[in-house]
Structure 1
Amino acid sequence: MSEITKAAGDLSLQAFSTYDKSGMLERVLRFSEQLRHAQEIAQGTEVRLERSRIRNVCICGMGGSAIGGDLVRSFSADQLSVPVVVNRDYTVPNFVDEGTLAVVSSYSGNTEETLSAYEQVCQRRAQVVCITSGGTLGEQAGRNGHPVFVIPGGFPPRSALGYLTVPLLYALHYAGLLVDPSPQVAEAVSLLAELNEEYGPDAEANLAKELSLHLHGSVPLIYAAAARVDAVALRWKGQLAENAEMLAFCNSFPELTHNEIMGWGPNREVNQRFRVVYLKDRQDHPQVVKRMALAREVFEPQAGSVFEVRSRGESLFARIFSLIFLGDMVSLYLAVLNGVDPTPVKHIESMKRRLLQS
Structure 2
Amino acid sequence: MGSNHFLKEYLDWTQLIEEVERVEPLNTVSLSEGIKGLLIVGMGGSGIVGDVIYSLSSEILEIPVTLVKDYQVPKWVGKNWLAVAVSYSGDTVETLTCLNEVIRRGAQAAVVASGGEMIKLAKEKKLPYIVVPSGRTPRSSFPALLLATAKLLKSLGIDLGVPRGKQLTEFLRREDTSRLGYELAEKLLDKIPVFASSVKYYPLALRAKDEFNENAKVPAKVETYPEGFHNDIVGWEAWFGSFSVVLFKESNNIILEFLRETLLSAGLEVITYELSNAYVEEIIKWSQVVGIASVAVAMKRGLNPKETKHIREYKEFIKQNISVTLLNYQKDEQV
Residue 140 of structure 1, CA deviation: 1.5
Q: 1:199 aligns with which of 172, 177, 182?
A: 177
Match of 1:309, SS? strand
Q: Name 1:232's counterpart in structure 2.
A: 204
Map 1:34-73 to 2 at 5 A: 34-42=16-24, 45-73=26-54
Letter in 1 for 2:172: L
Are positions 1:222 and 2:212 aligned together?
no
Q: Is the 8 A contact 2:225 2:256 kept in 1?
A: yes
Which residue type is aligned with residue 119 of structure 1? N
Per the alignment, residue 244 of structure 1 pairs with 216
Structure 2 unaligned runs (5+)? 322-335
Identity of aligned residues (%): 28
**Structure 1, residues 148-196: CA drift from partner, whole Å, max 9, x if none?**
101222211111112211121122222322166354x42211122333x
Structure 2 match to 1:137: 118
Say which is worse superposed, 238-247 or 154-163, in terms of deviation.
154-163
Instruction: Indicate the residue corresponding to 1:106 in structure 2.
Output: 87
Q: Is the 8 A contact 2:91 2:117 kept in 1?
A: yes
Q: How large is the Cα RMSD of the aligned pairs?
A: 1.9
Residue 295 (structure 1) shift:
2.3
1:342 aligns with 305
**Partners in 1 of 2:27 and 2:22 — Cα distance?**
12
Q: Which letter maps to 1:265?
A: E
- For 1:301 and 1:74, how far apart are their aligned partners in 2? 31
Cα 1:231–1:303, aligned 2, differ >3 Å: closer, same or farther? Answer: farther
Offset at residue 46 of structure 1 (A):
4.8
Equivalent in the alignment of 1:11: none
Q: Is the 8 A contact 1:131 1:164 kept in 2?
A: yes
The structural deviation recorded for 1:133 is 1.4
> Hey, what does 1:274 align to over in structure 2?
243
Alignment check: 8 A CA contact 1:81 1:177 kept: no
Question: Hey, what's the Cα distance between the residues in 1 that align with 2:85 and 2:317?
Answer: 25
C-alpha distance 119-68 of structure 1, shift in aligned 2 (>3 A): same
Structure 1 residue aligned with 2:6, among 5, 24, 30?
Answer: 24
Structure-2-length-normalised TM-score: 0.90
C-alpha distance in 2 between matches for 1:109 and 1:207: 33
Q: Deviations over 1:293-348 (max 9, x none)?
A: 22223322445401101235x63211221211111121122112222121111111
Question: What secondary structure is seen at the aligned counterpart in 2 of 1:89?
Answer: coil
Distance in 1 of aligned mates of 2:240 and 2:45: 35
Match for 1:316: what amino acid?
Y
Matching residue of 1:299: 263
For the structure 1 residues 307 and 224, does the alpha-carbon distance in structure 2 shift closer, same or farther, using more than 3 Å as the test?
A: same
Distance 1:210 1:29 in 2: 15
Give the structure 2 partner of residue 309 of structure 1: 273
Q: 1:237 to 1:302 in 2, by over 3 A?
A: same
Q: Do structure 1's residue 161 and structure 2's residue 134 form an aligned pair?
A: no
Aligned to 2:15: 33
Cα pair distance change 1:179/1:117, threshold 3 Å: closer
| Secondary structure in structure 2 of the residue aligned to 1:51 | coil
> How far off its partner does 1:88 sit?
0.5
TM-score, normalised to structure 1, is 0.84
In 2 relative to 1, CA 199–52 (structure 1 residues): closer, same or farther, beyond 3 Å? closer
Q: In structure 2, what residue type is equivalent to 1:226?
A: V
Listed as ranges, the gaps of 5+ residues in structure 1 are: 1-16, 201-205
Matched residue type, 1:20: S
SS in structure 1 at match of 2:33:
helix
Aligned partner of 1:138: which letter? Answer: I
